Amino acid sequence: MVGSSRWINCCAWWGSEASSTMRIFLFMVPLLVLAGFASIKGSSVYNGRDSIAKRYALSSSLITRSNFSSQTFLPPPNSSLQTIYPSSNSSLQTLHQSNETEVNVSIPKSNSAPANESDESHPREKQKRKPSFLDRTEVVLAQARATIREAKNWNLTQDSDYVPIGPMYWNAKEFHRSYLEMEKQFKVFVYEEGELPVFHDGPCSSIYSTEGSFIHAIEMNEHFRTRDPKKANVFFLPFSIAWMVRYVYIRNSYDFGPIKRTVRDYVNVIATRYPYWNRSLGADHFMLSCHDWGPETSKSIPYLRKNSIRVLCNANTSEGFDPIKDASFPEINLQPGLKDSFVGGPPASKRSILAFFAGGNHGPIRPILLEHWENKDEDIQVHKYLPKGVSYYGMLRNSKFCLCPSGYEVASPRVVEAIYTGCVPVLISEHYVPPFSDVLNWKMFSVNVSVKEIPNLKDILTSISPRQYIRMQKRVGQIRRHFEVHSPPKRYDVFHMILHSVWLRRLNFRVHDDINDFLSGNN
């Protein structure tokens, strides 16, 4: 009865008019509790989905390295590799950035565990996997990065061949240490697929000669080339754009289709037979071309242009050349037996011509140069065609400054011709990244003149004092070794400088085998 009485009293109280406010309060409390609980659970679910979304957003732009059908290496056009390249102009300087580029292309496996299963990982899953060849490679490269960073605090390392010293280098100590580390660690795997002459061959006696020269040199090299792809730091695509233009391109058709299909088919082959292209979407692969159409050909495959290291003579930033990812190398008009006959030249006191140029009237810059200076001034010798009996190389050797205007494209063999003959190069171009400019400070041994300054060319050159010119000419002689071609190659020559440019760019990112390591921060 006591219980019944209490229940009756409680009901009476509930029905009373005075307790209306309290009734509302008691009715809302359970709702507030339920809403709070739902909010907590909802937040938890949302965060979990958000995490999965982030993982998918990262991996959806990447290609699994376990599927190698003929189409697997071609991602959707709107997808992109997650890369963060440092903004420094010098690849050596990028080594001082705290974060190198991260490259990862493995898609994580979906989690099929029940929703109510414990979040605790299985003890076996906590065990670290055995380091792979790639892991060990990245450890070695990380050590090289650290060594190069510290080089500025060391005394100069003795070298029997050459010790780089002087303002021609952005940082001579770092360059020297980087070069020595390259000699110790750098390994290149050359794909053997492909048939002559388009693959494994190239011109060796024309303005595109560095294509054939490099391909031959790297394939014959026993020091840098490795036959084991697991030990490679980079992978070389041994095709020649110059030979494709000669053997694949239909003359005067202006159709790049046959060339692009050749490159696309080649990458399809190596992506099918090997895991390495898909592993990094081509980021640790490089192509080399001295032909004007090198940049256009690289567009055959989106990731060849966007991710791969492109070593190009046509280093034009207005056409997508990225000096952090891509490497500029010199255009050399190599003729058999010619180099040794004109390398070197008289001192400044015996050079009677202020400036010299002779060449075809093509491209947007040369017509302006010829209009202002052809047959206008004895000190500025500008010719479309040299007078009969006048030696081109003799004019180079007797000139203080050699004018190097761009033609149809930014690169010109006159830059190296000037360096060979001890003539200070005058670069007249737009959007051009000079060769090896991540190591060489071109302002110390060359003159840069913009197109709009062509009318003031004589005033600009005569404003350089004799003392300053002598220093510049001396520096030209000191850096000449980096542009010389030798067979077999010699240390610090153009072959090794091209390799060093690729080496620097490979140091600026890391390739990961497993996306789970990447996401968890186990770098």
Mean confidence (pLDDT) of the chain: 80
The structural domain count of the chain equals: 3
Q: Of the residues 160, 182, 204, which one is the last residue of a structural domain?
A: 182
Asked if residue 406 and residue 314 are part of one domain, the reply reads no
pLDDT at 154: 79
Asked if residue 253 and residue 384 are part of one domain, the reply reads no
**pLDDT above 70: residue 468:** yes
Tell me how far apart the alpha carbons of residues 268 and 73 are, in angstroms, rounded to a whole number: 7
**pLDDT above 50: residue 166:** yes
341 domain-assigned: no
Q: 196-254, pLDDT tens digit by residue?
A: 999 999 999 899 999 999 999 999 999 999 999 999 999 999 999 999 999 999 999 98
Tell me how far apart the alpha carbons of residues 318 and 373 are, in angstroms, rounded to a whole number: 27
pLDDT at 406: 96
Q: Where does the pLDDT of residue 343 fall: very low under 50, low under 70, confident under 90, or very high at 90 and above?
A: confident
Tokens (6 digits) for 37: 């609980």
Tell me how far apart the alpha carbons of residues 68 and 385 are, in angstroms, rounded to a whole number: 55
Asked if residue 192 and residue 178 are part of one domain, the reply reads no
Tell me how far apart the alpha carbons of residues 91 and 437 are, in angstroms, rounded to a whole number: 9
Asked if residue 381 and residue 492 are part of one domain, the reply reads no
pTM of the model: 0.78
Q: Of the residues 122, 157, 182, which one is the last residue of a structural domain?
A: 182
Asked if residue 191 and residue 321 are part of one domain, the reply reads yes
Q: What is the CATH number of the domain that holds 394?
A: 3.40.50.2000
Q: 133-154, pLDDT tens digit by residue?
A: 899 999 999 999 999 999 988 7
Q: 14-56, pLDDT tens digit by residue?
A: 334 444 444 444 444 444 444 444 343 333 322 322 322 222 2
Q: Of the residues 123, 148, 182, which one is the last residue of a structural domain?
A: 182
470 domain-assigned: yes
Q: 300-340, pLDDT tens digit by residue?
A: 999 999 999 999 999 999 999 999 999 999 999 987 766 56
Task: From residue 186, give the alpha-carbon distance in Å to each of 23, 215, 234, 443.
Answer: 80, 17, 8, 30
Contacts of residue 486, Cβ cutoff 8 Å, sequence gap at least 6: 493, 495
Interval 414-433 mean pLDDT: 97
450 domain-assigned: yes
**pLDDT above 70: residue 418:** yes
Asked if residue 365 and residue 463 are part of one domain, the reply reads yes
What range defines the domain where residue 410 resides?
A: 353-483
Coil, strand or helix at 425: strand
466 domain-assigned: yes
428 domain-assigned: yes
- What secondary structure, in 3-state letters, does 277-291 show? HHHHCCCCEEEEECC
102 domain-assigned: no
Asked if residue 218 and residue 160 are part of one domain, the reply reads no
Element housing 50 (H / E): helix 20-59
Q: Where does the pLDDT of residue 288 fall: very low under 50, low under 70, confident under 90, or very high at 90 and above?
A: very high
Interval 90-108 mean pLDDT: 48
**pLDDT above 90: residue 429:** yes
Asked if residue 152 and residue 232 are part of one domain, the reply reads no
Asked if residue 495 and residue 396 are part of one domain, the reply reads no
Which stretch of 66-75, 160-169, 256-265, 281-290 has the lowest confidence by average pLDDT?
A: 66-75
348 domain-assigned: no
Asked if residue 303 and residue 206 are part of one domain, the reply reads yes
Interval 82-108 mean pLDDT: 44
What's the angle, vertex CA 332, arms to CA 327 and CA 333, rounded to 5? 150
386 domain-assigned: yes
Tokens (6 digits) for 494: 């153009």
Q: 172-189, pLDDT tens digit by residue?
A: 999 999 999 999 999 999
Residue 380 sits at φ, ψ, to 5 deg, of: -105, 95
pLDDT at 14: 38
- Name the residue with tokens 């990862």: 104
Asked if residue 194 and residue 330 are part of one domain, the reply reads yes
Asked if residue 362 and residue 319 are part of one domain, the reply reads no
Tell me how far apart the alpha carbons of residues 276 and 456 are, in angstroms, rounded to a whole number: 52
